[in-house]
Structure 1
Amino acid sequence: MNAETVFRAKELRKNFGGAFTLRVDDLEIRRGEIFALVGPTGSGKSTLLRLLHLLETPTSGTLEFEGRSVVHPAELAIRRQITMVFQRPLLLRGSVLDNVSYGANLRRHRDPGKARRLLDCLGLAPLANAPAFPLSGGEIQRVAVARAMAIETPVLLLDEPTANLDPAHVLRIERIIRSRREDTATTIVIVTHNLLQARRLADRVAVLLEGRLVEVAPTERFFDHPADPRTAAFVSGQTVW
């Protein structure tokens, strides 16, 4: 394994009662890159993200984190290096600021100033002291992103982080993702249905179709010169599943 490899999956399978099987024959995610997962709804993108986050155990195959097998993850030290923003995040009781500070405080990285800066970057500063529960879906999504950014783990997994946002707030999220990678060399894996977003943000892109990893390529080549005809059909908007 290359010293710059963070995740490596080989012959990875996740079965769900025979109805669906995720198949990832060979996947490498490198340190410090922004890696986008695209594909139609139900193709297995969120399942793969949950496997990388050690929330699911593979049915078979191998998954390594920095060269260490995590097929049967039990090591808190590994889990603490990964933060995930879920597609439908949950907030805690308390204020917006309490939520953003929570994870960092648990790890004794208390920095209220940083939490407030993140809120400001995401257009949430006026809501800092407001209760979290009456927030809109888009506001909840932005709070969840701020909360994850405050923890500063070396790996960040994002499941549709801009799905509920208007274009202006999409750009705010994209700016903070770029800044996080540039400032800290964080490895970022993002699931998105927005192909333009994948093109704007990612160093490399992978496509999942019907549960199978079809192609992984540098972003420009993925969109402009895909090697697999199924990838070409997908990025051009044709139905391929």
Structure 2
Amino acid sequence: MAHQLPELAIPALRFEGASVVHRGQTLLQPLTLSFDGCRRTLVMGPNGAGKSLLMRLAHGLLLPSAGQVYWKGKPPRQAMVFQRPVLLKRSALDNLTYALAVSGTPWRSRKPLAREALARFGLSPLERRPARVLSGGEQQRLALARAWLLAPEVLFLDEPTAALDPASMRAVEAAVVDFHARGTRILMTTHDLNQAKRLADDVVLLHEGRLIEHSDAERFFTTPASPTTRAFIDGDLIW
């Protein structure tokens, strides 16, 4: 099914002066940074900081008002999981077989592969359940199972554990670790400092649409370069 992805196969993602302006209001200030290699990057910041905008720019769902966002090389296979998963009005199994059909998987292989993914994410007993009546945690696991089937080289996750119970959060985090172990580059937003400490190789901090810091996780949490970062870590930054 899924294959190990070599790190060198993942091109660098570049932001060069990329900004977002809506109705005369600058929501994301000109942003210049890059994401290289097969790392787990956690994007953090208060509400309204621009985290989701950065994710949508990165995934190509939104074009910058100015500047550029591009892959330095051939664009990789990508998948995105949202805070509220986008699921079809079909069963859990059919959501996965449909994704495989769109990706060109031969029809004889679709159900076996889909059932394998459901089993991996603990959803086998729910394969006939309508996807949209599943719990929040089950829907997130189904969205991750769909992404797993597509073997993305880069996976974007926008607040995937927001409002989930602790068990569902652990399941999502375990999935992130599994994706990365397979060779998938992770770019994920979160409000949870402890989650970032558990998962991040590097951290991006945004505040009021501005890039405050982008550094390795250990340095980010122990010796932040910005007073704003220290205030965020200490809980003193207004949300």
Same fold (TM over 0.5): yes
Task: Return closer, same or farther for 1:90/1:38 CA change in 2, 3 Å cut-off.
Answer: same
Q: Distance in 2 between matches of 1:99 and 1:235?
A: 39
Moved over 3 A (4+): 2-5, 109-114
Counterpart residue number, 2:200: 202
The yes-or-no answer on 1:174 pairing with 2:177 is no
The yes-or-no answer on 1:165 pairing with 2:161 is no
Counterpart residue number, 1:8: 14
Q: How does 1:108-187 map to 2 (within 5 A)?
A: 108-109=104-105, 110-183=109-182, 185-187=183-185
Deviations 1:181-232 (A, max 9, x none): 112x111100111111111111100001000111001001111110001011
Q: Is the Cα–Cα contact under 8 Å of residues 122 and 169 in structure 1 kept in the other structure? A: no
Q: Which amino acid aligns with 1:25?
A: L
Deviations 1:111-135 (A, max 9, x none): 4344333323333221112122322
Q: Which amino acid aligns with 1:14?
A: V
Counterpart residue number, 1:47: 53
Q: Distance in 1 between matches of 2:185 and 2:126?
A: 29
Counterpart residue number, 1:212: 210
Q: In structure 1, which of residues 18, 36, 48 is the aligned counterpart of residue 42 of structure 2?
A: 36
Task: Return closer, same or farther for 1:3/1:228 CA change in 2, 3 Å cut-off.
Answer: farther
Counterpart residue number, 2:224: 226
Q: Distance in 1 between matches of 2:133 and 2:178?
A: 29
> After alignment, is 213-222 or 23-32 more displaced?
23-32
Secondary structure, counterpart of 1:7 in structure 2: strand
Task: Return closer, same or farther for 1:193/1:8 CA change in 2, 3 Å cut-off.
Answer: same
Counterpart residue number, 2:4: none
Q: Is the Cα–Cα contact under 8 Å of residues 202 and 219 in structure 1 kept in the other structure? A: yes
The yes-or-no answer on 1:99 pairing with 2:95 is yes
How much is the aligned-residue C-alpha RMSD, in angstroms? 2.1
The yes-or-no answer on 1:60 pairing with 2:66 is yes
Q: Is the Cα–Cα contact under 8 Å of residues 144 and 175 in structure 2 kept in the other structure? A: no
Q: Distance in 2 between matches of 1:167 and 1:137?
A: 12
Q: Which amino acid aligns with 1:103?
A: A
Q: Is the Cα–Cα contact under 8 Å of residues 46 and 238 in structure 2 kept in the other structure? A: no
Secondary structure, counterpart of 1:43 in structure 2: coil
Secondary structure, counterpart of 1:149 in structure 2: helix
TM-score (norm 1): 0.87
Aligned positions, number: 229
Counterpart residue number, 2:3: none
Task: Return closer, same or farther for 1:165/1:97 CA change in 2, 3 Å cut-off.
Answer: same
Counterpart residue number, 2:28: 22
Q: Which amino acid aligns with 1:200?
A: R
List runs of 5+ in structure 1 lacking aligned partners: 69-77
Percentage of matched positions with identical amino acids: 41
Counterpart residue number, 2:190: 192
> After alignment, is 109-118 or 55-64 more displaced?
109-118
Q: Distance in 2 between matches of 1:119 and 1:224?
A: 39
Q: Which amino acid aligns with 2:143?
A: A
Q: Is the Cα–Cα contact under 8 Å of residues 230 and 240 in structure 1 kept in the other structure? A: no
List runs of 5+ in structure 2 lacking aligned partners: 1-7
